[in-house]
Amino acid sequence: MRFRWGVDDGGLRVASQAGKHTTSFVTAPIAFLAVAALAVVLGSLIIGARETDSIALAQQRDTIEHAIEQHGDALARELRVQTVWSEAYDRTATRDVIWMRAFFGIYLDELFGYDSIYVLSGSDKFVFGFAKDRDARQAQFERIAPGLKDLIAAVRKPAEAPATYHVISTSIDLGENQFVVHRAVADVRNILGMPATVVVSTIVPDRPRASLNSSPFLLVAIEDLDARFIKQLGKTFGFADLKWFEGTAPLGTSTERIEALDGKTVATLSWTRNQPGWEFVRRVGIGLAVALVLLVALTALLMRWGNRQARRILDSEADAKHAARTDALTGLPNRVALGEALGGMVTEAKRHESPLAVLSINLDQFKEINDDFGHAVGDAVLVAVARRLEGLLKSNFMLGRPGGDEFVMLAPGIDSTAAAGLGARIVAALMAPIDIAGGTRVHVSASVGHVLAPHDGEANDDLMRRVELAVAKAKEQGGATAIAFAPEMDLELSHRRILEGALRSAVTSDAIGIVYQPIMDPSGSRVIAVEALARWTDPMLGSIPPDVFIPLAEETGLIQKIGERALRQAVADGLAWADVDVAVNVSAAQIHHGDVVAVVRDVLSTSRFPPERLEIEITESVLLADERRADAQIKGLQRLGLKVALDDFGAGYSSLMYLRKFGFDNLKIDRSFIEDIGKSSDSPVILESVIQLGLNLSMTITAEGVETPEQHRWLRNSGCHRLQGYLFSRPLTKEQLTAFLAHHDAAAAAG
């Protein structure tokens, strides 16, 4: 059933009666009655204005107090993701300062704007602090600690705290019949002369533990309620010139004293007084007097005319509101209508303690449909998809189209299992081809993500952000699937942002280092070449593996700078190692989004490095993306006089075809073949065939990942030209490699 909505104006009903009128001169009694009526009206307005202003002031004060209190509760709930976490529980227990700096200090500072963070032990002793972008000392916390004792005590022993402290307690099911209670309390306090929201939260695990601390560590998070916050608060709730105030309030202003839970005054807010009652009197007073004179003559006419006009306006307004909340293409609710409905459904779900499933449906490769068939067909596909999705709706479900190729379904009353089933039915329903008028048949698929409210969030923004994370995960898995949101997705996104920021800083400061792994001759006694490898160690995050930061560099476009710097460094270092070739890896992004030939040409020209000693290594992923461009770049590199190697041979799907199609100089056999020597009866046969194939094509054969003497003997006897692996050496710094070369040269001379 299709969800329908509309605007109900409640009806405008104006009754009027026409009477007979007689015209006469204005007499004294009539004038007296008019003046008396005016006096009564003005008196009533004045009395009403005073009452209205008094009520408005009380409401303004309540609004301010409630907004600050709700802000504190929101911060307490927001911190739950960081404090209900087994890794946080373990890291704080071991006092891992580096971890706490990254995930409590930097993370909460940069992403959520906290001004200071403190971690306390089970005995409420200072463990770690972070404030103003750097570590905080114990003395800084001790200056504010006396004013926080009651909040800490309330979290430790909520049963003994006054009811006004409103300690938020949440039971966490760790599994294996193990439970723990997470507690948090928030309040506004004066922190070093600045009003601030303080949140005190226990740090508990979310997975089973052999034992649990009876007195968990605490996280104390402080966010200053500075002028910017107060200005935004005033803008949100319509308070003119809202600010913290000291002294005597000037005329025309209202004030509200902000108190902490312990009864102490934190600070005073002032704002320009809002007097809606008197403002109304000033505006209508003069006009009212004139209106009373004309009212008698115009009443009948206005009632008749006004009734018709009001109905016309209300009908027009209803149509306009409906159009403003409707997607013109599909007739479904648009983003505005979905947002309004979602907020109401979440409120109902909380009230009835019933789940609400939010599903986001995103079409896979929809851009290709527009490119291949045109936008008219693309629009027809969207309409057809909308009709199919409507066929899956129940009477209380809602389907909308926020925009583009995205649809959102709101499904009250279904749990995670039912939501997963609904997601699977959506994927299946959209797999059938769509026939468009004119004989065009289009195949589509969809990636679906789903969340449950209020379990996965209560605010619209949180729910939509998290359901989009689930959709992104579904697309990562190839599309045409439905994925439920998991908290790890938030952590993955946060970790990626931190890692990306650190990588950008590392590239800017040239902190990506280069190490070299020797490539030996078949005997294993002479170094023939070295492979340059990028390495990154971040001061805060530690050592980051290449298989983590290289793909990230490719996605962010940083690989161009990293690759060029690695190449320049490698050839500069290689000048000192006579008769040793230098191999440098080039990624697919460098080939397809840059001009590697031009970069290598410039590096060779400026460094005077012999091109015959340089080898560029590429993988099959370079060839899969765009064979034509890859072929042009490979041939351009070979024309410069250097060698091009196919790296990780055997790890892909079409290696034999590439060996025939592209003229590689060197073939590097993937370590997965090497590690099975002596373990599998099939692997040596396949490996021997691969080596013989490379020899028949006059290619230099390099075996990677050589780690045992048995592997060394087998590869030497099979005809491999070069060997590389931990059996001979791990990757070395420039200085270590220089010593390594000298040692082998001396050994060779002595032999």
Residue 639, helix vs strand vs coil: helix
pLDDT digits (tens, 9 = 90+) for 656-703: 667 767 888 898 988 888 887 877 666 678 788 888 888 888 889 999
Whether the pLDDT of residue 652 is over 60: the answer is: no
Q: Is the dihedral of CA 214, 219, 220, 225 positive or negative?
A: negative
Out of 15-19, 77-81, 367-371, 438-442, pick the least confident. Answer: 15-19
- The DSSP H or E segment spanning 442 is strand 440-442
Whether the pLDDT of residue 31 is over 80: the answer is: no
The CATH number of 515-532+576-750, from 3.40.50.300, 3.40.50.920, 3.40.1190.20, 3.20.20.450, is 3.20.20.450
Q: Looking at per-residue confidence, does 280 or 445 come out higher?
A: 445
What is the structure's pLDDT at 207?
A: 92
Residues 39, 369 contacting (CB under 8 angstroms): no
Nearest-CA neighbor of 260 among 133, 174, 165, 194? 165
Out of 14-28, 187-201, 497-511, 636-650, pick the least confident. Answer: 14-28
What is the structure's pLDDT at 27?
A: 42
Q: Residues with Cβ < 8 Å from 20, sequence gap 6 or more?
A: none
Q: What's the CA gap between 671 and 660, in Å, rounded?
A: 22
Average pLDDT of the segment spanning 190-201: 92
Record the tokens describing residue 174, joined without a space: 């760790």
CATH number of 335-485: 3.30.70.270
Out of 201-205, 217-221, 243-247, pick the least confident. Answer: 243-247
Whether the pLDDT of residue 726 is over 60: the answer is: yes
Residues 511, 492 contacting (CB under 8 angstroms): no
pLDDT digits (tens, 9 = 90+) for 625-640: 677 888 888 899 999 9
pLDDT digits (tens, 9 = 90+) for 520-542: 999 999 999 999 999 999 888 88
Name the band, by pLDDT with cuts 50, 70 and 90, for residue 152.
very high
Whether the pLDDT of residue 279 is over 80: the answer is: no
Q: Looking at per-residue confidence, does 540 or 22 come out higher?
A: 540
Angle between helices 487-508 and 460-476 (to 10 degrees): 80
What is the structure's pLDDT at 284?
A: 67
Whether the pLDDT of residue 155 is over 90: the answer is: yes
Name the band, by pLDDT with cuts 50, 70 and 90, for residue 296.
low
Q: What's the CA gap between 621 and 367, in Å, rounded?
A: 23
Residues 408, 357 contacting (CB under 8 angstroms): no
Among residues of the chain, what percentage have pLDDT more than 90? 40
Name the band, by pLDDT with cuts 50, 70 and 90, for residue 199.
very high
Chain mean pLDDT for the chain: 84
Q: Looking at per-residue confidence, does 118 or 112 come out higher?
A: 118
Q: So where are the chain's domains?
A: 79-225, 335-485, 515-532+576-750
Where is mean pLDDT largest: 119-133, 251-265, 457-471?
Answer: 119-133
Record the tokens describing residue 706, joined without a space: 């050589």
Residues 727, 708 contacting (CB under 8 angstroms): yes
Whether the pLDDT of residue 8 is over 60: the answer is: no
Whether the pLDDT of residue 5 is over 50: the answer is: no
Range list of H helices, 575-681: 588-592, 596-607, 620-625, 627-639, 655-661, 671-674
pLDDT digits (tens, 9 = 90+) for 578-626: 889 999 999 888 888 888 999 999 999 999 999 999 999 988 777 766 7
Out of 67-76, 327-336, 703-712, pick the least confident. Answer: 67-76
Query: DSSP states of 454-513 as a string?
Result: TTT-SSHHHHHHHHHHHHHHHHHTTSS-EEE--HHHHHHHHHHHHHHHHHHHHHHTT--E
What is the structure's pLDDT at 63?
A: 85
The correct answer on CATH 3.10.50 for the domain covering 79-225 is: no
